[in-house]
Amino acid sequence: MKLSIVAFEIQEIGTLEEQAADCIRQLNEFISKGGCGISNIIALNFFLSATDVPAFEGQKKLLADCLPDAIKEVIPVAYLAQAPANGATISVEMHYLPDMEGVVVTPKNMAGTNYLVIESKGGDKWVVANGICTGKKKHQIAEDSDWVFGVMEAILQSEGLDFSNIFRQWNYIEGITTVELKENAENQHYQLFNNVRSKYYAKSEFVNGYPAATGIGTMAGGVVISFYATTQSGPDVISVENPLQKAAFEYSEEVLIGESEYEGFCKCTPKFARAKLVSNTQSVQVYISGTASIREEKTIAENDVAEQTRITIDNVEKLISEQTLSKINRVLAGQMQINFFRVYIKNPSDYQLVKRTCESRWPGISGVYVVSDVCRDSLLVEIEALASVRQ
């Protein structure tokens, strides 16, 4: 199975209803031109400009009302309070499988969350869950995280899997860098999330390493998680680390913010790999985690968004470089290329500069840009990507 991603951004800014209709029109046009059919779509992400709960709930409802039943009743959808960086109210990202020959897709539901079980004639099995959230309008990050991870665990167990089978995970955290004072202790939202993640991950043995993952901020929605899991193991799913960066799960307490203990755990590091190489009979792909201007564990080029963007792109490309991949698979060395990227920009005013920098390094590659807080106050941009064997 091979994943493809395409984004549809609004070109003419109109009313919320007009933009929603434009997104659906672009999606339908892509389908009608043979890019894929509805049955090929495995996930949809809607990026919304809402900055508070009422606006977020209103935009979600309007979009849900616009979506065809064939999509909203089957395909896992995530609504994310991350404004399109081009000033629009809505943009959409679609994940799909271009080749469905011999593939069987079974829609399922767990605790109100749609997910898909995808099985190939070669015996591979994927579980795709998108937009898992509590649905509450008021949120406590630790409690939200615990609920969402509980649903993830139930989905995985129902399919005979556990957390170690996840190869790609997206973690959206409202006010990610917010620090709350509770009972005379500082609690950062991202650190609270990491503590809960570690509690659940401790139930599994990650013999093939942690998933590739993104931990990123939103303006509303509490904690929202999406993930891809697979039955594949061993040489088919390999963690990739950047030789220029310390592994995130080995960070020192110096870069962690919040309480030193949580339910018997020490202050927990972010449990993810910098990338995950996944191979099967149809494809070899590298799923690149949310990546920023970090070397070892330190932020580089504070207050310089142009330099941070360049360093971030260098870090992304290092993960698929001949030097890095030759240590894992000599056949792949020099054979990977970026197919899609998503860019998170902290300050909307930096959009054009960041976009020019990305397009100069990755000309002609499809990407989507959204406004979002990154996991450190000092970071101004974050980039995730999908790479495949060069055609």
Q: How confident is the model at residue 361 (pLDDT cuts 50, 70, 90)?
A: very high
The predicted model gives 38-45 an average pLDDT of 93
The predicted model gives 260-272 an average pLDDT of 70
* Contact indicator for 295, 245 with CB cutoff of 8 Å: yes
The helix or strand, by DSSP H or E, that contains position 84, with its residue range, turns out to be none
d(C-alpha 75, C-alpha 388), whole Å: 24
| CA dihedral sign, ordered 76, 78, 84, 88 | positive
Report the CATH number that the domain containing residue 306 is assigned in CATH. 3.30.1330.40
Residue 194 neighbours by CB distance under 10 Å: 30
The predicted model gives 143-161 an average pLDDT of 97
pLDDT of 263 > 70? The answer is no
Residue 162 neighbours by CB distance under 10 Å: 17
- Residue 248, classified by CB atoms within 10 Å of its CB into exposed (0-12), middle (13-18) or buried (19+), is buried
Contacts with 314 (C-beta within 8 Å, 6 or more apart), sequence order: none
Structural domain for 87, as ranges: 4-389
327-352 pLDDT, tens per residue?
Answer: 886 666 568 899 999 999 999 999 99
pLDDT of 314 > 90? The answer is yes
Q: What is the pLDDT of residue 325?
A: 87
Q: What is the pLDDT of residue 332?
A: 67
pLDDT of 261 > 80? The answer is no
> Which of 52-66, 298-312, 367-381 comes out lowest in average pLDDT?
52-66
If one counts the domains in the chain, the total is 1
DSSP string, 363-389: TT-EEEEEE---SSTT--EEEEEEEEE
Q: What is the pLDDT of residue 73?
A: 83
210-258 pLDDT, tens per residue?
Answer: 999 999 999 999 999 999 999 977 778 999 999 999 988 888 877 777 6
d(C-alpha 230, C-alpha 338), whole Å: 22
pLDDT of 48 > 70? The answer is yes
The predicted model gives 150-162 an average pLDDT of 97
* Pairwise pLDDT comparison (266 vs 75), residue with the higher score: 75
